[in-house]
Structures are given as structure tokens and as C-alpha cells.
Structure 1
Amino acid sequence: MRPPRKPSGQRRGPASGKTTGFGVRPGPAPTETPSRPARSGPQRGPPASRFIDSDDRGAREIRALRAARPARDARPAGEDRPTRDQDRRPPRPPRGNVAPAGRSTRAGKPGPAAPEAPRIKRAPPLERVTEVAPQRIAKALARAGVASRRDIERMIAEGRIEIDGTKLTSPALNITSLRGVTVDGQPVAGIAPARLYRFHKPAGFLTAARDPAGRPTIMDILPPDLPRVVPVGRLDMNTEGLLLLTTDGELKRALELPSSSIPRVYRVRAFGEVTQAALESLADGATIDGIHYGPVLADIERKTGHNLWLIVTIREGKNREVRRVLEHIGLQVNRLIRVAYGPIGLDDLPPRGADEIPQSDVQALMAMLKPLKPQKK
């Protein structure tokens, strides 16, 4: 039989109280159990048998392994312990500073052997020549890399140059040998073979050794490891690009002579409009303000707005030749970059960067210019 229902007026209260017809009689307040202080370190729980089911195979296996584990006193200690098989894992890379082979680290232990670096073949030193053709002493010392001709003449006036212990008083002296010549008491090593460098000149620097007005020159930005060099020709202050430098004044003179007809190639940005007929007319040369300029080859590379990019090739290299010739046909040059000097190109040389041209190329260039040198009578 089903039990009788309780009256609707009765309400059921909490488990601790009793049910009445009008509400719940509150029972005794539950007492709070004091919390235990937290233990430091790892805490162990109750035995696993209370919470782990007996059918849990993993728990049984763990208990079996722990039971089979030997006691601490029965374990081998020190060198008796079995070592790991080192062949199974690759060797670890060294950490920190590793001392090279044959040396010791800070801890006194020798470092691992360093891999042998490939040997780089260095070029043999350039041989210097003391016997020279009859020439002025200032010219011979300039070719030997002592200083420029003007500086050597100034040094002679100051009594800093001697020949066999006798001070030289005049630069008007021809010599055929540099033996016995001293500068500030130091013997001159001799004349080295001509060396040629290429330099990426940025805009805003003069192509000169010094400027009386105090403007910046290329000598202020040349790499410090270069020997004493002189520029081949000149680039205007606002012209940038390839500039050749050499240690030999004879090679400098041969390369910059207009009679050598060495092509100089420029990239030009100019403002204005020009016709193809006007550009082709420059191939026959032009006479501007009484100065005759030789053939100029000019081609349009591209157009950008009101500006043109041109490729211009000249062979004389007169003062401001590219600017004046283009102004003659109605163009205003706003950027000028020399990209090649004969067979030598600017390529990807960064601004203010310099590197040496191989000696084989220098000898081939000198052989090509040899018939063009003026003959002395």
C-alpha cells in the first residue's frame, strides 16, 4: 500500500531540522573542523587501496615494481653502477666557450679539437724596383709611395731627404736609382708595381687631396687600409659613381689623357624634353663656348614623369663634359653617376667602398695604353 500523503501545509526543512506544519525548526549549527597547517614538501595521500579499484592493472603493476625495487643499501654506488650505452644517442654539441685543440679551458680541461680551416693562398708580396729610368727625384719618390710631388719638393726644402748621407737642397736632380736615398733617416724601399683600385664616390665630396676652403674631400672617406693613392681624373662634387685610384703617377696620366680614348659610361637623370634626332646629333661632337667636345653616344633608358634616364658614353673626359653637352640640347642634369671606366665597372660596389683590381688586369690595361704614351725626344 502507498503511504498517506503529508499535509500541504507542512514543509520539509534541512536534514538537520524537523518538519512542522508552519515551517522548519532549525537544528543545531554544524561545527567547523579546524583546518590543518599546510605541510612543506611532497605530501603523501591515503593508501592507494582506498581509492584505486582492485581491477586497476596499472596500480597493481606499479605496486609490484616498487616491491621489486632493491633497497638503497643494496644498490651499487660510484664506479660500480652500470653506464649508459653512449652509442645509442648522438654526441651533444659543446656549450659555452670551447678552447681550440692543444689549449686548456678555464677549468683546466683541454677543449675538443677544432675543425681544420681551409688554407687560403695569399698573393706573394709585390717586388719593389730600385733601378729606374732617369727621372726627377720627386717623381721617383712619388712613384715609391712616399708622398706627392709637391709634398716631396717641400720636404726637400726642409732638408728631410738625403742621398748617401748628404742633404738634398734642390728638386732639380735626375736619378737612376733609389739606393742610398733616405727620408727622415729611413731608407726608401723602392718602387712597387702599379696598383689600381676602384672607389664608389658619393655625392658631396671633392676629388682632391685637400681643399683650401675646407670642403670635404674623398681623402676624408677613403678606407684606412689603402696605401697612398691618387685619383685618375676627377668627378665633380655632385657627381657620384666609379672613381679609379692608383699608386702610380704614370698610370694615372696615361688613363686620364683624352688621347687615350677610354670610354667612360654614365647614367644620367635629366629634366626636360628631347628628341631622338637631338641625341643622335651628339655622335658628331659639339662645339660649345669655343670648346670642341668629341663624339657623345646618348640613349634613353626610361622616362619617369618629366625626368629622363639616359646612358651616356664619352671618350675624352673633359671638365663637366656630360653636363654641358646635355644642356646644349635643352636638358638639365640633376643626377650623374659614372658606372664604368673602360673595362672596369662599378657593379655592386657600395658607396664609400673600395677594392683592388687584380694585377693581371692592371698589366693588361697598361699594355693597351703603352702605345698611347707620349714619346720623349
Structure 2
Amino acid sequence: MFNNSPQGIVILNKQDEILNINKGFEDLFQYTREELVGKKLAYHIVPDRLKEESTRYSERVFKDEVVRTETVRKRKDGSEIHVSILAFPIQFGDEDPAIYAIYSDITDRVRYQEDLQASEARFRTLANELSAMNDMKETLLDVISHDLRNPAGVIFSMTDLMVQEDPDSEALQLLKTSSEDLLSVIENATSLSRVAFGEDIQKESLDLAQLIPRIVQDFGPELKRNGLEVDVDLPDSLEIQANRLVSEIFKNYLSNAIKYAAHGKRIQIVGVREPHSVTVEVRDFGTTIPGDQLQSIFTRGVRLEGGKKKGRGLGLAIVKRIAEVHNGEVGVRPNSPKGNIFYVTLPVK
């Protein structure tokens, strides 16, 4: 295992002299075994500013501590890399105690984290500044729509990949959650910008009986993670004249059911066609919303209670505005025996 490990491994004595290294260590730091064995580790791979830190780590290990840390080390050519170190004491028979240290190159991960944190800080600063300027709301929506969506999507995608590689990193989990929240705010604001100022929107023939199952399919992984089953009961056709923005209504309803009512374990989506309108209900079996909140939750800035995530309370406000520009109606009422029924009624034409 010592020789075949892809990670860099070094064995040191109490004088910080290298007793042995593996090929992974040679590849990581660009030295050969012959160049290092018998030499001082700190002199070859520890930057001058971190030599005291390296000495403290060695002292801790020789006091029978296991050291886990992330720091910076240098290669033979002088370039610095970020590494994680796992070091612990070993002893073979009557030989003197030694240090067994495992080095992993985390340079790419650290740089991604730094870039993501810097990008997120820039976007948060921009969002906070623009939000404080009521007379710049239209400009804010334009900036969000055109300038922030793509980089925010890149931030989330890169963070998601990094979390898959290092699922135990709290810092990466925080970055993923924050970038997901940022992307959600941008997407909601983008949708709202199209209807917030009473702009005319183009309509086309849409069949909700085909649209809604596709939306449910898109939420498949999230539904599976939360242990939720969805029963879809729609007529063969629910055709209306509408803008594709109506999909945001069902995405919001389904997203809220997952966030706030996952403990109900199931969701029902039921559609009914009337002569001049269609009604779609999304029924959850979570905690019933108090009666005095049933109307206010469709107001901007009001959030459902009990969710795991914080937000700006834009989702249901967008739902209401999209329905209004289609001459439709939204609402919520209690489900039986518990939970809620979110509904939308839209005219056929």
C-alpha cells in the first residue's frame, strides 16, 4: 500500500529527517527518493514562513496526537501547492518512534473555493446595493436577467461537482447552499421581470397534461432524496392559450411542497377541465397553513413557515402575478386530513 498509494507518503524521524518516501510523494513534490532520504523535510518542502508551523505539527505527533490539517507546501521548482496532511506516530519493533504522513494535493479545490467565494461576494454585494435602491428596480431586474444568471449557474455547477468529490466538506456544502439560493433568487426575479411591469406577453397553445408531467420528471432526483411520491391525475388534454411562464406556477407549487411538506411523504397533482377554464391543484400532506396566512403568503416578502431554507418570499408572488397576466386565479386551502391544496385556475383562451 505504501508504494502503490497515489497519495504522497513520507516517514520521518524525530530530527525531521526523511526515512522513506513513496512514488506518490516523488510525483507530488518533484523529488526523487535518492534526493530526499536522510535529508530534512522542512528544508525541502516547507516554505520559510511555515517552518514553525511544521515544527509544531511534528511535536504534536510525537506526543501521540493525530494531526489533520490543510496548509501550503512547496515543490522542487519552488512553486507552492495546497495540501491536506494526515500525520500520526508509528513504531516498528524496538526502533525509535517515527512520523507517518500522508499528503494530498488540494490546490484545485482550494482555488475553486476561493474563486467561488469571491464571485459570490461580488454578486451578493451587487444584489444588496441594487435592492436598496427602489428607484432602480427595473435596472436590477435587467441586470439579473442578462448579467447574473450565467455566472451564478456556473458557480452552482462547479460547487455541485466539488461537493460530489468531497461530500464531507462543510465549506463546500455552505457554498453549494448559498449558490443554490442565489440562483433561485435570480430565476424568480427573472420570471417576475417579464410580468411585473404589465408588459404584453406572447401566448401559444399549451397542453398542461403534457407540461406538468415533464416538470414532475425534472424534480425527480429531489423528490427521491426527500422520499416523496407524486400521484398525477390529469385528463388526457388540458389545452390552454398561455405563455410558457405558466410553468413557473407549477414549479413553485411543487418546489414548496418538497421544501415544506416532505414529511407528508406524498404529493397529489389533480387537473380538472371546465367549459371555459382549467384548474390544477397541487395537494400536499404536510403541516396545514394557518387560516390567517392563506392569503398573505401570495404577497411579496412573505414566506411559508417551517422550511429549511431562507428566501426573499418571491416565489408565490410570482405565481400570483403570472396568473393575473393570464386572467387567472391562484389560492390555497386546507387539505384533509392535513396539509394544503395550492391551486390555479386559468382560462382556456
Specify if TM > 0.5: no
Normalised by the length of structure 1, the TM-score is 0.18
Instruction: Return the structure number with greater relative CO, CA threshold 8 A, min gap 6.
Output: 1
- Between Structure 1 and Structure 2, the one with more helix by share is 2
